[in-house]
Amino acid sequence: MSAGQGTPDDAAAAIALAHSLFDAARAGDSATLVRYLDAGVPFTLTNTAGDSLLMLAAYNGHPAIVRDLLARGAEADQVNDRGQTPLAGAVFKGHDDVVRLLVDAGADPDAGTPSARAAAEMFGRTELLELLG
């Protein structure tokens, strides 16, 4: 291997770490996420489906993680490979506290496919339509 290149074991360890961070975002394990984010893991990390840590936390209803990622600069409207936004995911799952955080951070209710507004209409989430403005 040339200088600066890691070993296959290094690559496997990095992939395993990324999977554990995606799992932490899904499960609401903010202690694990904060520890690694503070150590320099980028908050922009995405999985093979294009889901960001913010998307996974929003979809699974973890407002503390959503708040922390937004404070670190996570993009509220970042779409995954299917064109979905964190706001649409939170609306679909009915996580009103996460919806509020994302809207307050400037998330566009009309971004993505389907948009958060379309998801709210599709699933009869009228209380969330009001939050979307």
Q: Express each pLDDT in 33-62 by its tens digit.
A: 999 999 999 999 999 999 999 999 999 999
Question: Is 76 contained in some domain?
Answer: yes
Q: Express each pLDDT in 65-81 by its tens digit.
A: 999 999 999 999 999 99
Question: Is 104 contained in some domain?
Answer: yes
pTM over the 0.75 mark:
yes
Question: Is 55 contained in some domain?
Answer: yes
Question: Is 2 contained in some domain?
Answer: no
Contact 103, 131 (CB under 8 A): yes
Place of tokens 């936004």: 85
User: Which residues form the domain of 77?
Assistant: 8-132
Question: Is 39 contained in some domain?
Answer: yes
Give the domain CATH number at 17: 1.25.40.20
Question: Is 105 contained in some domain?
Answer: yes
User: What is the domain count for the chain?
Assistant: 1
Contact 117, 79 (CB under 8 A): no
Question: Is 100 contained in some domain?
Answer: yes
